[in-house]
Amino acid sequence: MTDLDRLPVTPDDIRQAAQRIAPFVHRTPVLSSRRLNEMLGAEVVFKCENLQRIGAFKARGAHNAVFQLDDAAAARGVVTHSSGNHAAALSLAARNRGVPAFIVMPTNAPTAKIESVVRLGGDVTFCEPTIAAREAAAARIEAERGATLVHPYDDVRVIAGQGTAALELLADHPDLGAILAPVGGGGLMSGTAVAARAASQTIRILAVEPAQADDAWRSWSTGVLTAGDPPDTIADGLRTTLGGNGFVILRALLDDFATVSEAAIVEAMRLVWEVLKVVIEPSSAVPVAALLERRFDLGGRKAGVILTGGNVDLAMLPWQAKAS
Amino acid sequence: MTDLDRLPVTPDDIRQAAQRIAPFVHRTPVLSSRRLNEMLGAEVVFKCENLQRIGAFKARGAHNAVFQLDDAAAARGVVTHSSGNHAAALSLAARNRGVPAFIVMPTNAPTAKIESVVRLGGDVTFCEPTIAAREAAAARIEAERGATLVHPYDDVRVIAGQGTAALELLADHPDLGAILAPVGGGGLMSGTAVAARAASQTIRILAVEPAQADDAWRSWSTGVLTAGDPPDTIADGLRTTLGGNGFVILRALLDDFATVSEAAIVEAMRLVWEVLKVVIEPSSAVPVAALLERRFDLGGRKAGVILTGGNVDLAMLPWQAKAS
């Protein structure tokens, strides 16, 4: 049995995060559908973080990080490099604290993402679209402004914040026998794992990753943290590499780990839109795809899935791209 | 001041309906978005009947009708003619009561709608795609089987059931200063109006209809129930004609009535998908379109909108049909 209090993020960190962020985030609804249960061959409930502020669970971790800073540090602002939901989340959290958010974005970031950050008051710095350029630009802002870097997923404050989604889900459904989330950088999955194991010694903690972005699965299976092949998946939120803190936590707490095909992700995404009637982005569909393909033996357990976000381009839906 | 107890459906009917149907329908969540508020220029909350069982508020009225029958009548089954959400709703309600549902559908009904009824155990009879043929087929089943006709919208039991959505919304948000719903046959709008006026003498009760299916608006404005021009709107749930009971209730209780263009409906639908992250059908977008176009002077009032349903063909989205 793992001593949870020796992990980089503890159950207490998550409980404190929940109190800290409560004024700023939605307690999102949990949905279910008898028809979807029939199709998945299991009783499944869905924690709708696509209905969270900024349309993704990332609002949780960002608020937990920003609201833990002391006043002097906060006043100097926060900085991150991200072209995704974390950039919007950090902008919102900083605005709620009344401090600047410096967001480094690659010049090829989608216009909608840039607009979203600007709308939320983020101060955007563009850089070349390479990891090295992004990190260099963020480091410069850290040095020049004294701003605090808030890493999108390997920051322990961020991981604790992301864990609050599972905390709420388990409070609403204490009878869950399994909990599933997707893995990108590992922030959500790590927080979910700690919250779930604190709630139950027997709950099955199940991770899912796109087969075409399976670095975390490789790292978890082999015990060696590896970057893997360059990710090439429709699940744009999961194109990141597992962080060190996530690696430690997932190695300690995961019961099983599956990878799923791109076709299964698209099918699961469409199914959730059609049956559950909520808009989810491809990353959210990744654990649903694993259930659809019976990749885990749930043995009659009731399962909870965290739907991570709903930020998609409605003009370019994957099942239509396929049809044309 | 209208004496609500002299209307075809009373506040008491709605309260009793709420108790009767509670075991069979979802208490749907109410969502809101600060960004959407900014775009609509008002504080607006959305009652998500698209997340209701069978994906539409119709589950409420159908259960209220079916569970009011005495055992002998119920055993002979229920019958309706519908190619839409009411057919699925009645099939589900009958299955929950353990009695047959006879559904008359036109031969040109969409395959998805037919499959949905069959999946829910409905007994489908096909007929020619005319109103006369539908009514004749339903009347024959009534006569031969002794089945009870449950009209999709002009049945007082159905109207009372539909009113329970507003009852829940007003319980969750007692500070609403306005409530909006779309009008097709008038079942939802009538139930909503009675529930809202019972809750508040001052709440603004606002109806919205597609300009290209404006028979209810014409009937309400002139005081003469009229069929109007043949409806030609993307809002397929609203292609029906206002019923007599609805006419009486809307004349007595509505504060205002707007009609909206097809373009505004599509824009509002897309906006709800994009910002609120829920899948709605075009009918649901009709009152949102009126808010988007500032068709009502809300005077700072907080508004509640009933999102009626989420049954759409994901392969044929209107903003993409336009683009191609």
Q: What per-residue confidence (pLDDT) applies to A324?
A: 40
Give the closest residue to A92 by CA, choosing from A81, A104, A84, A100.
A100
Least Cα separation, residue B323 to chain A (angstroms): 9
Q: Does A77 touch chain B (CB under 8 A)?
A: no
CATH of region A4-56+155-323, choose from 3.40.50.1100, 3.40.50.800, 3.90.1200.10, 2.40.100.10: 3.40.50.1100
CB contact under 8 A, B319 and A317: no
- Which residues on adjacent β-strands are paired with residue A182? A208
CATH topology of domain B4-57+160-323: Rossmann fold (3.40.50)
Give tens-digit pLDDT for B15-37: 999 999 999 999 999 999 999 99
CATH of region B59-149, choose from 3.40.50.360, 2.30.29.30, 3.40.50.620, 3.40.50.1100: 3.40.50.1100
Query: What's chain B's average pLDDT?
Result: 95
Q: Does B323 touch chain A (CB under 8 A)?
A: yes
What token pair was written down for B53?
Answer: 């069982």
Decide: helix, strand or coil at residue B90. helix
Task: Check pLDDT > 80 for residue A220.
Answer: yes
Task: Check pLDDT > 70 for residue B46.
Answer: yes
Which chain A residue lies closest to B316 (C-alpha atoms)?
A320
Distance CA A92, CA A62 (A): 8
Task: Check pLDDT > 90 for residue A141.
Answer: yes
What token pair was written down for B145?
Answer: 């089987």
Give the closest residue to B221 by CA, choosing from B209, B212, B233, B232.
B209
Contact A192, A305 (CB under 8 A): no
Write the ipTM: 0.91
- Over range B213-241, report the average pLDDT: 93
Distance CA B83, CA B196 (A): 29
Q: What per-residue confidence (pLDDT) applies to A319?
A: 85
Task: Check pLDDT > 70 for residue A321.
Answer: no
Task: Check pLDDT > 80 for residue A2.
Answer: no
CB contact under 8 A, A278 and B274: no
Give contacts of A 250-289 with B, CB under 8 A.
270, 273-274, 276-280
**A305 or B231: whose pLDDT is higher?**
A305
Query: What's chain A's average pLDDT?
Result: 95
Give tens-digit pLDDT for A229-240: 889 999 999 998
Q: Do domains A4-56+155-323 and A59-149 have the same CATH topology?
A: yes
Q: What per-residue confidence (pLDDT) applies to A180?
A: 98
| 3-state secondary structure string across A243-290 | CHHHHHHHHHHCCEEEEECHHHHHHHHHHHHHHHCECCCHHHHHHHHH
For chain B, give the percent of residues with pLDDT over 90: 87
- Name the residue with tokens 């690696």: A247
Give tens-digit pLDDT for A245-283: 999 999 999 999 999 999 999 999 999 999 999 999 999
Pairing of strands A101-106, A78-81: parallel
Distance CA A223, CA A220 (A): 5
Residue B17: HSE in the Cβ half-sphere, 13 Å Cα cutoff: 31
In total, chain B counts a number of residues equal to 324
Distance CA B278, CA B273 (A): 5
**B318 or B18: whose pLDDT is higher?**
B18
Distance CA A321, CA B164 (A): 40
Task: Check pLDDT > 90 for residue A4.
Answer: yes
Least Cα separation, residue A319 to chain B (angstroms): 7
Q: What per-residue confidence (pLDDT) applies to B323?
A: 44
**B260 or B131: whose pLDDT is higher?**
B260
Nearest to B323 among A31, A35, A315 (CB): A315
Helices (H), chain A: 11-21, 34-40, 58-66, 71-76, 85-97, 111-119, 131-145, 156-172, 187-199, 215-222, 244-253, 262-271, 282-292, 318-323
Q: Does A132 touch chain B (CB under 8 A)?
A: no
AA identity, residue A32? S
Q: What per-residue confidence (pLDDT) applies to A323?
A: 44
Which chain B residue lies closest to A34 (C-alpha atoms)?
B53
CB contact under 8 A, A310 and B279: no
Contact A232, A213 (CB under 8 A): yes
Give the closest residue to B267 by CA, choosing from B245, B282, B278, B277.
B282
CB contact under 8 A, B314 and A270: yes
Task: Check pLDDT > 50 for residue A287.
Answer: yes
Nearest to A319 among B280, B310, B315 (CB): B315
- Domain range list for chain A: 4-56+155-323, 59-149
- Name the residue with tokens 């209701």: B52
Give contacts of A 26-55 with B, CB under 8 A.
29, 31, 34-35, 50-51, 53, 55
Nearest to B319 among A274, A276, A314 (CB): A314
Nearest to B279 among A53, A55, A279 (CB): A279
| pLDDT interval class at B195 (50, 70, 90) | very high
Task: Check pLDDT > 80 for residue A1.
Answer: no
Contact B189, B163 (CB under 8 A): no
